[in-house]
Structure 1
Amino acid sequence: MDLELSDLLRNFELVEAKIKEHCIVVSNMPSCTTRKTAVVSLFIVDSLLDDLTHLLNHKADQIVGVNDQIVTVHEELILLRSSLTDITLQQHPQLEELLIQTTDIAYEIEYIINSFPPVWYLTLRLPQFMDKIKRIMMGITETKKNIDTGIVEVENYPTKQVSSQEKGPPILEDIVVGFDNKETEIAEQLVRGPEHLQIISIFGMPGVGKTTLSKKLYNNPSVVYHFDKRAWCVVSETYNKKNIFTEILKSVKDHDKETITQMDDESLVEALYKSLIKRRYLIVVDDIWDMNSWNDFGRYFPDDKNGSRILFTTRHKEVGLKASHHSVVNELPILSDVECWELLQRKVFQKEHCP
């Protein structure tokens, strides 16, 4: 595929998000408003996280003096995104306003970062951004607390009730083009094959659809039925082992979330191991950059020879190859021009062809 077309498709995501935002404003479907706004907010935050990761990894020489602050903003945004995913099923005006604020601050940060201002200006603005993010998170926490205690009422859109072990990445109605055969192939790798714990990886260039495909696999009915426990965690280049274990444990164990958050590292590892032992489990490790991180926490997953699986998404083929002697590596190729155009139409116009 022509790289210019690939770049155009990637840059068009911001335009697409704005189109969706305007569609939400004029929508006459109030029962779905908060959910739609959450989809847009998550989309914009994900785009900003990609930009910040690229800046930290490839343009660090341009941000000397504020590198640590940008890392902090990146970490705060990851926490904010996690909080947003917890409220996508809630319907309340307070949440709607918080989601809009999230979209606004994400756009503001993205504009400033991509403008490459002088370092002294970033030194002034980055603390302001962090304060805004923390205020939004405080608002989300307070609103959720009020909802949980019955102080405010919410409307939930119809959905199947799921147990804690079925929780995972938000279903954001992402569109996948050109990977139908690959989805079937990887689903077979997950539910069939050897009994020992096996690592299966999906690798490809940024933006090609690794995470989107993994979400579809995670929620594939045959996969859901096959595994006793499922969990999803995001690693990225800068990661925190305790946060990873915390997120996984929240998905596979019926612990109170506050109790899990307060556990020390040793207690987390022990609780996680006990939750997974003798169970057939699937752990999705999204956006893993190198083997150092996997070597750091991968040894804590038990292998009971019962068909458990670890699913990687990565930009680097060698991560999948070196994960284990029995690992399976799946490459997502760059979309063809025809597939790019199809994806563009379906993302923006929600149909097969331009109107």
Structure 2
Amino acid sequence: MMKLTRGTKKRDVISIYGMPGLGKTTLTRKVYNKPYIVNYFDVKTWCAVSQAYNRKKLLAEIFNQTTRREMDEDDDIADLLLTTQIEHVAKHLQHHGDPYSLNFLTSTQSWKLLENKLSRGERCPLNLLEAGLRVAQHCKGLPLMVVLVAGFIAKMERELEVANDLSSLVLGEQSMKVIQSSYEHLEDH
């Protein structure tokens, strides 16, 4: 963020590169939406450029976002924050500084992210700690993988809760049938 707001007054390209799933877009989106950044720039645009993009549509999207309000001559439109999977693209577009390489998470960072996504602020029970650490290691340092696995685990937990609730309900109904059947076969006194 400091490079965006305290860097050179000349045009600048700030590049973040790394393989898919490392969180380049997530990080960039968080920076883009920070109140400090929102208030710092007069005009901001967000556009995603796929491998097969249409130049006219891309320019139209940028134009539509920038013309939502009146632009002044003093508007600073000099900085570009770019994410790419390809290191040489990031290096080719660098202007006043080196591009940022987003690295894999360590096993500890992966575990902390997984625990955070699953625990809702509580610590992991000790009996699940070893399994959680193994799951985090299998995510190979990719934040996207950790978040997806956490989502699957949370869904499985909810499904297990529903299954347990339903099985107790079914057992309750069966128990009532057995009791009713026994009651109906009692001799009159």
> TM-score, normalized by length of structure 2?
0.59
User: Aligned pair count?
Assistant: 125
Q: 1:218 aligns with which of 32, 44, 50?
A: 32
* CA deviation string 1:190-218 (max 9, x = no partner): 00111111000111121111111101100
Q: Is the 8 A contact 1:199 1:328 kept in 2?
A: no
Q: Is 1:337 matched up with 2:107?
A: yes
Q: Choose which of 24, 49, 52 in structure 2 pairs with 1:235.
A: 49
- Assess if the C-alpha contact under 8 Å between 1:230 and 1:252 holds in 2: yes
- Note if contact 2:14-2:94 (Cα within 8 Å) is conserved in structure 1: no
SS at match of 2:10: coil
CA distance in 2 between partners of 1:208 and 1:214 (Å): 12
- After superposition, the Cα gap between the structure-2 partners of 1:354 and 1:247, relative to the gap in structure 1 and judged at 3 Å, is farther
Q: CA deviation at 1:220?
A: 1.6
Give 5+ residue unaligned stretches, structure 1.
1-186, 256-273, 282-307
Matched, 1:252 2:58: no
Distance 1:342 1:224, change over 3 A: same
Match of residue 83 from structure 2: 313
Residue 229 of structure 1 contacts residue 276 of structure 1 at CA under 8 Å; is this kept in 2?
no
What secondary structure is seen at the aligned counterpart in 2 of 1:230?
Answer: coil
1:188 aligns with 2
Once the two structures are TM-superposed, the CA of residue 321 in structure 1 deviates from its matched residue by: 1.0
Is 1:280 paired with 2:94?
no
Q: 2: CA distance between counterparts of 1:316 and 1:276?
A: 35
Q: Which has the higher contact order (CA 8 A, sep 6+)?
A: 2
Structure 2 counterparts to residues 21-32 of structure 1, below 5 A: none
Cα-to-partner distance string for 1:258-282 (whole Å, 9 max, x where unaligned): xxxxxxxxxxxxxxxx95864113x
The one-letter code sitting in structure 2 at the alignment partner of 1:320 is A
Q: Is the 8 A contact 1:191 1:222 kept in 2?
A: no
State the one-letter code of the partner of 2:89. Answer: V
Equivalents in 2 of 1:276, 1:314: separation in Å?
31
Larger Rg: 2
Q: Aligned partner of 1:328: which letter?
A: D
Q: Please state how far the C-alpha of 1:224 moved relative to its aligned partner.
A: 1.4
Residue identity (%):
37
Superposition deviation, residue 331 in structure 1: 1.1
RMSD of the TM alignment (CA)?
2.2
Partners in 2 of 1:335 and 1:320 — Cα distance?
21
* Residue identity in the other structure for 1:279: D
Amino acid in the other structure paired with 2:36: S
Checking the alignment, whether the CA contact within 8 Å between 1:321 and 1:327 is kept in structure 2 is no
The residue type paired with residue 55 of structure 2 is K
1:205 is aligned to 2:27: no
Deviation at 1:324, TM superposition (A): 4.3
Q: CA deviation at 1:345?
A: 2.2
Q: Which runs of 5+ in 2 are unaligned?
A: 126-189
Task: Tell me by how many angstroms 1:327 deviates.
Answer: 4.5
CA 1:336 to 1:252, structure 2 compared with 1: closer, same or farther past 3 Å? same
Rounded Cα–Cα distance in structure 2 between residues aligned with 1:276 and 1:315: 35
Pairwise CA distance, 1:332:
1.2
SS of equivalent residue, structure 2 residue 90: helix
Pair 353,241 (structure 1): closer, same or farther in 2 beyond 3 Å: farther
Cα deviation per residue 1:292-350 (whole Å; 9 max; x = unaligned)?
Answer: xxxxxxxxxxxxxxxx2100111111111111443431111110001111112223343
CA change 1:205–1:243 in 2 (3 A) is: same
